[in-house]
Every structure is written in C-alpha cells, then in structure tokens.
Amino acid sequence: MSFILFLKNLLPNFLEYMFTRLRIVTFTFILLFLGIIVRLFFWQVIRGKDLSRNARLQRESGQKITAPRGNILASDATWMAARSEAWLVYASLPDVRDISKTADSLAPFFIDAENSDPGYKAKLLEEANRLKGLLQRDGVVWVPLKHSVGTGFKNNIQALSLSGIGFEQEETRAYPESSSSAHLLGFVGKNEEGGDLGYFGLEGFYNLTLSGKKGFLAQEFDARGTPILLSDKNEVSAIGGVDLLTHIVKPIQLNLEKELKEGIEKYGAVGGTAIVLNPKNGGVLAMASYPSYDPAKYFDYGDVFFKNPAVSDIFEPGSIFKVVVMAAALDADAVEIDTKCDICDKPLKVDKYEIETWNNEYSPDSTMLEVIVNSDNVGMAFVGQKLGADKLYDYLSSFGFGEKTGVDLQGEVSGKLRKKGTWNVVDLATASFGQGISATPIQIVSAVSAIANGGKLFAPQVVDELWGESWKEDIKESLIGEVISKESAEEITQMMVEAAKNGESKWTYKRGFGVAGKTGTAQIPIAGYYDKEKTIASFVGFAPYDDPEFVMLVTLREPQTSPWASETAAPLWYSIAEDLFIHFGIQPEK
Amino acid sequence: MKIKAIRNGKTGKKQPRGYRLLGITIPFYLIALVVLFGVVSIYFAVEMASTGAVLASIESEKEILVRKNQTLKGELIAKSSLSQLGVDAEDLGFLKPQNVLYLVSEESVAKLP
C-alpha cells in the first residue's frame, strides 16, 4: 500500500517529467526536421540546377552517326572506289608504360616498305623516332599515331597488347585496281574541319552525292552504359552516300592505261591522254592520262599530278581539227566532196605569213577528199575562206568549242574561241587547220563523236546511274543538238575512212575494220612562237564507220622517237583499237 | 451499401462506422490501389532496365556483325580486282592471244529439190 501511495504521490511529478522530456524530444525532432528541410532546400532549389545538369551530362550521350560514303562502280557494277574499314591508332599517354618499346613495336606496321626493300631500316628508324616524339609530348593526354590502318594490321597490333594503345574505327577509300583511273576518280582528302571531302574527278564533282548526310543520336544511359528506354531519345538518322554507276568499262579502262603507258615509254613522250567515248550517248567508256598518281596515297604527290589533262589541259589540236572544219563547210554547202582547191598548187600567203603543207608537197586542183587524205593545210585554208569566219565561228560553237562540255568531272576548263567578228584572215586560215585555236581533249573527241553519230552532239558523261539504298536513278544522256546533218556526217565520215586507209598513217591501218580516222601533228606554241621540234601528236577515229561502237582520241605530248602522229599516236591508237574490236565483237569487212 | 451502425455506449444511439464496399472500407481500397500501383511501377521499371540491358547486348552484337560484314566486304572488294585477276591468270600460265583469226562461215542454204 505504501508503494502504491508512493506511486500515487510520484505520478503527477513523473508525468510532468515525462511531458517535459517529450517536449524536448519533440523540439529536437522539429529542429532536425527543419534542418533537413533547409538542407533539402539547399540541394534541390539552390544547387538543384547544377546537380540536374551534372546528372544529365552523366546520363546523356550524344554522338554523331557517320554517313557511309558512296561507292564508285564500273559499268559492270564492280568497284572502282569503295568505302572500306580502317582504324585510327591512338595513344593514351598516361597509360603508355615503355615509350621506346611501344614506338619500336609499332613502327614496322606503319611504314610502307618490305623487309627486303633497300632503305627499309632507315624508314623504320625514321618512323620509330616520329612515334617516340609523339609519345613524349607534354601536356597532352591523347595523341593520334596513324590513320587508315588496315584491319589486319590492327589485329596484329592488338595482339602485341601494348598498354595505352587504342583503336578508333574510321572510314577510308579502297581502290581494288590500285592506282588505275586516278584522274577519273579523284581522291578523298580532308576539309578544314577534318571531315572527308572529294577532290578532282568524280569524287570532287559528286562530293555531295557521295557524302550523304551525318546523323545524330542523343540518348540517356545508366552508370553501366545501358540505354534507359523510358528516357528522352533524339535520333536523326544518317543518310548514306549514293553509289555512282559509271559508263566505264573496266577491261577497256585497264587496257587503255596499260597501252598508253607503254606507248609513252616507247615513243619517249613527256605525257599522253587517251579517251574512249560511246558515240551513241556520250558515255565515257575509258579515260587515261600520264603522268598519273595513286589516289590512295595522294599526299605523296604534288598538286601538278592531280589535274586531269583530258578535261583540264588545253592544246592546239592541229590536223585532227580539220575534220570538224570540213564537216562544217560540207554542212554549210560552202564546199562539196569533189570541190577543187584552186590555190593548192603552192604555199598560201596570208597577210605577212606563208601557209605550207606538212611535207611541202602541193597538189593542184585537189578535191576536198584529197585535202583531208593529204592533210593539206593550204587546202584547209581554202575551205576556211569558202566558209567564212562568222559561219566557222557558229559551227565551232555548235560543236561545243569555246565552252565546257559539261562532263561530270571536277576541274574541266574550256579552250578559248575568239569572239565572233574579231577574226582576221590569219585567224581564219590557221583555225582551219587546227592551229591558233585551243581545245581540251574531251572537246575534240566529243565533236568527232557528233560526226560518228550522224551529226548529233551529246554531252560526255561518266556516270550512268545513281544507286541509293533502295532506289536507282538513271542519268539520261544529254543531247545538246544536231550540229550537222546526217548526210554531211556521212560525207565527212567517208573522207575520214579514206584518210585512215590512204593517208599518212596508212601503213598502220588495220584493213577490213572500217576505221574512220585522222592524224594530227600540232606544233606547240611557246612564248609567242611555235617550237620547231616539239609537237603534240594525235589520232582521232571511230569504228566501224557505218555503226560506230566507239570513238577514241589518243594524244602524245612531245614524242621523241618521231614528231609525227602517223608514226606515234596512230600506231598506238590501232594497238588499243585491236582490243576494242575484240571487246565489241567488231568483225573485219569481208 | 450497407451502413452498419455502432451503438454509442453512453447514449445507446446508433452511429455510422464509415462507408464500406463489399464489407471493406473505402480508405482500405485506396491504400490497396496505391500499393498495387507501386508494385506495378517497380515491376515495369525493372523490366525496362532489363530490356535496356538486352537492347545494349543486341546493339553490341549488331556492331560485331556489321564489323564482320565490313571485313568480308573488304575481302570481296580485293578479290574483285580485275588487275589482280590478270596477274593471277598470268601466274597460272594464261596468256593474251597474240594473233586473232577471224573465221568466215558460209551461210547454209537449203538444197533445191
């Protein structure tokens, strides 16, 4: 009982005590709670934006999606230039342990030489020193060591397990035919931002078409790199580059290059160009020039090699131009095939100059046919006088001279044509036999192609079709116009057949194949006068003359064995044509 | 909706207990709904995470296949080289014909009876 009494007396004090403790605890919890709220306010409101941004930066990943570059295909859809996998070898400098060992191990993979090559050791040492220099750079964490390393080499380097060495995939260009068709294709270099850019040839002309468009992917990832599916995802798909299907016939192209190279060496020429066109649609079947370069290693060559002489070099065509002038004169009814030249018995005096024949032989009363067969300069001056400067200008303009042909290769230029009405008697006379006037090889072969095609002039065209991922587009042939009538074309063709058979190159003529052709030996103008020894030797022709499968121009610059086209360019033309006859199934006439 | 009354112990009068559906009070339903929602959310979040991992795995596999495809394509490009084919043909003993003979065949004409 006393205990209960004790408790009864104690209880009010105890309760009071407990209530006080409760108040203290409650107050403490309220303080803590306030503290948490303050802290939450600090982190969520004051620092909220920064933390949110940092979290977003951690989660989000944005990357460009590269667009694969389009391929360049021959007419049989085999590759001429293809996109290929390659690797950038880089070094993460803080992780590289032994600089010397790393450099020495990598050097053999980066040099373009075999163990047996002379100078291999010097190249190896040079490369090892270059790599050591890169690996010893200060203030740099990441350094690229070598671009465009092949997958095989990459795997071999990987097998060495060198610390700090990594690989990044990149795209490069593969050329299955090695350095063939360099001027046609061009090459892929870099622009100012380090992106791919096509230069010259098809790579340059169709750069936008081949490049496609890069895409972009922005997505959130968790700490392990797993994509967060419910998060925001922005994707702009890359649009791949378009493939170009060309008119180029690979066997003809390879053979043309081989024969041209051999011909240049045989005749001691400084350089040369050859073009083969399809006269029915202007399609470029083959095009080659020397000296040339390797598009895979364009950086090892000087700029002078990149220009395509077939479309970028102008020259005075010489006697091959006579067929164009004669065609114009026939079409304008200024002359006929059997019109007689009454001034062809001696050299022709024009102003203060004297026009002579190439062999100083003169045939009085030569017919127009004989003028072409004998390549008579005086006879052609006669034709020019009959035609007149204005009409000659009009026809030359129609044939495409004086402006670009529009061929789809970067770097095309045009020879100049004097303005109409400014031609004097000397200009008229010299232009009639192809001197004092300039043109590019593509302009010449294009004009002769119009003769072969019954008078219809097509713009030369390399690309036939565009191939997208799921679509194809045909690039139609571009008919510029009918420059001469079909009858005139047939007449000049007959003249060219006779010129090939019985002209100065008759010794190399392939009997029975119906070749229509013309030689041209043009003097080279240097500093206002014509060089006495140096020439540009050319032969232009098509076969078979009644239904031509090809038109071809071959020019040799400064041949040393002989200055004459009949002894250099003409036999080379026929040597190439032999393979073309087989390719096109051209049978000799019975 | 049955409203069960509870008799107030002092006054003896009936007092309403609360709204019930099938014998269960409404707040209980709300709590159950919230719990269910929570469970479903967690389930789907886990599913998404695992699907994301599967997606990442598929993407890696795709990369590997794309690389293999590119490697094979590179080999195909190299093999399609016509100039290399010419070199290989020469090594195998094939030669370019030096002389080409063109044959003329007479046209067949039916013999007259």
pLDDT tens-place string over residues A402-451 = 999 999 999 999 988 889 989 999 999 999 999 989 999 999 999 999 99
Q: Which residues of chain A does B51 touch, with a Cβ-Cβ cutoff of 8 Å? A: 229
Instruction: Check B74 against A254: CB less than 8 A apart.
Output: no
Residue of chain B nearest A229, judged by CA positions = B52
Instruction: Check A228 against B78: CB less than 8 A apart.
Output: no
Please say whether the dihedral angle defined by the alpha carbons of residues B10, B16, B18 and B24, taken in this order, is positive or negative. Answer: positive
Residue B12: pLDDT above 70?
Answer: no
The rounded distance, in Å, linking the Cα atoms of A476 and A456 is 15
The rounded distance, in Å, linking the Cα atoms of A8 and A67 is 91
Pair type for strands A165-174 and A79-92: antiparallel
Interface test with A, best of B60, B102, B105, B107 (most A CBs within 10 A): B102
The rounded distance, in Å, linking the Cα atoms of B47 and B52 is 8
Question: pLDDT digits over A493-543, tens only?
Answer: 999 999 999 888 888 888 788 999 999 999 888 877 788 888 999 999 999
Residue A160: pLDDT above 80?
Answer: yes
Residues of chain A in Cβ contact (below 8 Å) with chain B: 78-79, 82, 84-85, 151, 169, 174, 176-178, 180, 222, 224-230, 250-251, 254, 578, 582, 587-588, 590
More confidently predicted of A101 and B19: A101
Q: Is A509 helix (H, G, I), strand (E, B) or coil?
A: coil
Number of other CB atoms surrounding residue A195 within 10 Å: 10
For A91-95, A507-511, A564-568, which range has the lowest pLDDT when averaged over its residues?
Answer: A507-511
The torsion region of residue A528 among left (phi > 0), alpha (psi -120 to 50) and beta comes to left
Task: Specify the pLDDT at position A432.
Answer: 94
Phi and psi angles of residue A406, each rounded to the nearest 5 degrees, phi first: 90, 15
Instruction: Check A79 against B104: CB less than 8 A apart.
Output: no
Q: Is A127 helix (H, G, I), strand (E, B) or coil?
A: helix
Q: Which residues touch B45 (CB under 8 Å, ≥6 apart)?
A: none
The rounded distance, in Å, linking the Cα atoms of A520 and A504 is 10
| Residue of A429, A321, A427 whose CA lies nearest to A382 | A429
* CA contacts within 13 A on the Cβ side of A569: 34
In whole numbers, what is the pLDDT of chain B averaged over residues? 80
Q: How many Å lie between the alpha carbon of B53 and the closest alpha carbon of chain A?
A: 5
Please say whether the dihedral angle defined by the alpha carbons of residues A169, A472, A287 and A521, taken in this order, is positive or negative. Answer: negative
Q: Which residues of chain B does A78 touch, with a Cβ-Cβ cutoff of 8 Å? A: 80, 82
Instruction: Check B82 against A78: CB less than 8 A apart.
Output: yes
Q: Which residues of chain A does B73 touch, with a Cβ-Cβ cutoff of 8 Å? A: 82, 84
| Residue of A326, A312, A271, A315 whose CA lies nearest to A409 | A312
Q: Is A419 helix (H, G, I), strand (E, B) or coil?
A: coil
The rounded distance, in Å, linking the Cα atoms of A559 and A407 is 28
Pair type for strands A72-73 and A243-246: parallel
Task: Specify the pLDDT at position B1.
Answer: 46
In whole numbers, what is the pLDDT of chain A averaged over residues? 90
B70 confidence band (pLDDT: 50, 70, 90): confident
Mean pLDDT of A232-257: 90
Instruction: Check B83 against A79: CB less than 8 A apart.
Output: no
Residue of chain A nearest B102, judged by CA positions = A587
Q: Which residues of chain B does A227 touch, with a Cβ-Cβ cutoff of 8 Å? A: 52, 55-56, 59
Point out the residue among B56, B71, B82 whose CB comes nearest to the CB of A226.
B56
Point out the residue among A85, A176, A582 whose CB comes nearest to the CB of B81.
A176
For A315-329, A376-390, B42-56, which range has the lowest pLDDT when averaged over its residues?
Answer: B42-56
Amino acid letter for position A86? A
Point out the residue among A177, A230, A590 whose CB comes nearest to the CB of B48.
A230
Residues of chain B in Cβ contact (below 8 Å) with chain A: 48-49, 51-53, 55-56, 59, 67, 70-71, 73-74, 77-78, 80-84, 86, 100, 102, 104
- Contact yes or no for A284/A276 (Cβ under 8 A): yes
Q: Which residues of chain A does B53 touch, with a Cβ-Cβ cutoff of 8 Å? A: 224, 226
Instruction: Check B83 against A178: CB less than 8 A apart.
Output: yes
Amino acid letter for position B2? K
Number of other CB atoms surrounding residue A219 within 10 Å: 17
The rounded distance, in Å, linking the Cα atoms of A542 and A278 is 10
Instruction: Taking each helix axis as running N to C, give the angle between helix A425-432 and helix A377-387, from 0 to 180 degrees, rounded to the nearest 10.
Output: 120
Residue of chain A nearest B69, judged by CA positions = A85
Q: Is A145 helix (H, G, I), strand (E, B) or coil?
A: strand
Task: Specify the pLDDT at position B50.
Answer: 83
Instruction: Check B83 against A85: CB less than 8 A apart.
Output: no
Q: Name the one residue in this structure whose structure tokens are 């043309």.
A: A256
Residue A583: pLDDT above 60?
Answer: yes
The rounded distance, in Å, linking the Cα atoms of A385 and A428 is 7
Instruction: Check B100 against A79: CB less than 8 A apart.
Output: no
Q: Which residues of chain A does B100 touch, with a Cβ-Cβ cutoff of 8 Å? A: 578, 582
| DSSP designation for A409 | S
Bridge partner list, A535:
A523
The rounded distance, in Å, linking the Cα atoms of A257 and A264 is 10
Mean pLDDT of A229-254: 87
Q: At A158, list the tokens.
A: 């990987």
| Residue of A272, A256, A310, A255 whose CA lies nearest to A568 | A272
Q: How many Å lie between the alpha carbon of B3 and the closest alpha carbon of chain A?
A: 40
Q: Which residues of chain B does A228 touch, with a Cβ-Cβ cutoff of 8 Å? A: 48-49, 52
For A46-50, A198-202, A311-315, A356-360, which range has the lowest pLDDT when averaged over its residues?
Answer: A356-360
The rounded distance, in Å, linking the Cα atoms of A522 and A568 is 13
Task: Specify the pLDDT at position B13.
Answer: 56
Q: Which residues of chain B does A248 touch, with a Cβ-Cβ cutoff of 8 Å? A: none
Question: 3-state SS string over A172-228?
Answer: EEECCCCCCCHHHHCEEEECCCCCEEEECHHHHHCHHHHHCECEEEEEEECCCCCEC
Q: Which residues of chain A does B56 touch, with a Cβ-Cβ cutoff of 8 Å? A: 225-227
Instruction: Check B49 against A227: CB less than 8 A apart.
Output: no
Instruction: Check B52 against A82: CB less than 8 A apart.
Output: no
| Residue of A151, A158, A5, A182 whose CA lies nearest to A87 | A151
Instruction: Check A82 against B70: CB less than 8 A apart.
Output: no
In percent, how much of chain A has pLDDT > 70?
A: 97
Interface test with A, best of B72, B82, B84, B87 (most A CBs within 10 A): B82
Task: Specify the pLDDT at position A356.
Answer: 87
Task: Specify the pLDDT at position A590.
Answer: 63
The rounded distance, in Å, linking the Cα atoms of B80 and A79 is 8
Number of other CB atoms surrounding residue A217 within 10 Å: 15
Instruction: Check B49 against A226: CB less than 8 A apart.
Output: yes
**What is the C-alpha R_g of chain B?**
45
Point out the residue among B51, B71, B102 whose CB comes nearest to the CB of A151.
B71
The rounded distance, in Å, linking the Cα atoms of A296 and A84 is 12
Percent of chain A as helix, strand, coil, to the nearest 5: 40, 25, 35
Task: Specify the pLDDT at position A495.
Answer: 95
Q: Is A458 helix (H, G, I), strand (E, B) or coil?
A: strand
Instruction: Check A174 against B77: CB less than 8 A apart.
Output: yes
pTM of the entire predicted model: 0.82
Interface test with A, best of B48, B50, B70 (most A CBs within 10 A): B70
Amino acid letter for position A267? Y
Q: At A515, list the tokens.
A: 């070749």
